[in-house]
Amino acid sequence: MANEKKIKVTLVKSMFGRGAKHMACVKGLGLRRMHHSVEVIDTPENRGMINKVSYLLKTEEV
């Protein structure tokens, strides 16, 4: 657990007018507003949420 890979995720497009499931994925990643960045652990669950709303995000490996 000490050597977990992380991904930096930044919300670059607005969530306004998006579907409820897409908004839930963004909130599940911990993003609150535009240009807000968080680091999440690289797990299959987080990858799935990132892939679902990839058109709203900018990602980079840390």
Q: Using a CB cutoff of 8 Å and minimum separation of 24, what contacts does 18-25 make?
A: 18/53, 18/56, 21/52, 22/52, 22/53, 22/56, 25/49, 25/52, 25/53
**CATH at residue 31:** 3.30.1390.20
pTM confidence score: 0.90
Each residue's pLDDT tens digit, 6-56: 999 999 999 999 999 999 999 999 999 999 999 999 999 999 999 999 999
> How many structural domains are present in the chain?
1
1 domain-assigned:
no
pLDDT at 3: 78
